[in-house]
Structure 1
């Protein structure tokens, strides 16, 4: 049975959820302290430790944003109107920041980037039915601004640090250089692979020895949809 949270702990948990939902990453201790009016980040740390002891989050000392929601936290509704919909619900297409979002979640230089889920055969990647929602991303987050985020499916790019459920930041382009990681359409699927392009030969290379390279033949329905410019790792956006 889940341990009961205090009102302040529930407030902080909702804030963490909202930050991940809006930006794909948890807040820092300083951001929590500033939003809730604490005098120092140490006060936020005390509440985070309590949430960890009660099993709602896991903390990592290796990074300032080392806060991860547990399954217990994702299954427990603390009353926020901004939490994700229950499993099985159709994805909400959210055109902008959620109501009540803290100002630091949506910096002045942010822009809305579409999050693309499964792509239907033969239709454009950015077709409206593929866009799960739009996420505000700060302009400085990546060296090259992405045109969309593509939800990664499977573990074929594991050894390149790209895992199932990650959000790959993609810049739209029909061309890519040998060795770049690309989002490519091959037949009915859009896949993430490393491009091996030498002369007339084109192959799509996985980064996992459990998977085989894909040879692209001259008659195959093949197109490069874009090149990877960054990655967001989160388990809270589904």
Structure 2
């Protein structure tokens, strides 16, 4: 397929998202794309993605997410190793002779023993910034009971939200970690419309993996 079929702006758009994928191993968010091209509306992002889909540069993947067409697979670099190599031992007491050996790798299974129960969602918005969770971060969630004061992902009235959850006699209170946002109150008569998707156990961003802080320490 000839790249000339793209307009100059479409080519710039396509190059940006593929370069971003190479650098970060994930696709950019709508907000990141809008900031890059100074779009006033996310509709501009959607229109460009639809144009690339129509011209065959992108395809629909699982869950209707876009992905690069296999014909252009060489534009996306190979993924790095699956784990962090453990290269030996280091003393944490008295000085000892350096011991270098292959002790395997630290993998996701090492970091998260219950990885089969985990899933991730990408954050859109800044309502949890005071909990260290920012727009574009990936929150790690577990299908587990959410205790009072825990952060959880909630599905309510057809919309999802990441908030600190409190149960009370007056209903469910969803508390943001940003003073610019208001609490969301879910009254008991609509409890059946609320579903807690998962308990927040940490998040991942460019600075690394961050574990959840227990509610008693976060307050």
TM-score (norm 1): 0.45
TM-score (norm 2): 0.48
**More contact order relative to length (CA 8 Å, sep ≥ 6):** 1
Structure number, greater radius of gyration: 2
Question: Which structure has more helix as a fraction of its residues?
Answer: 2
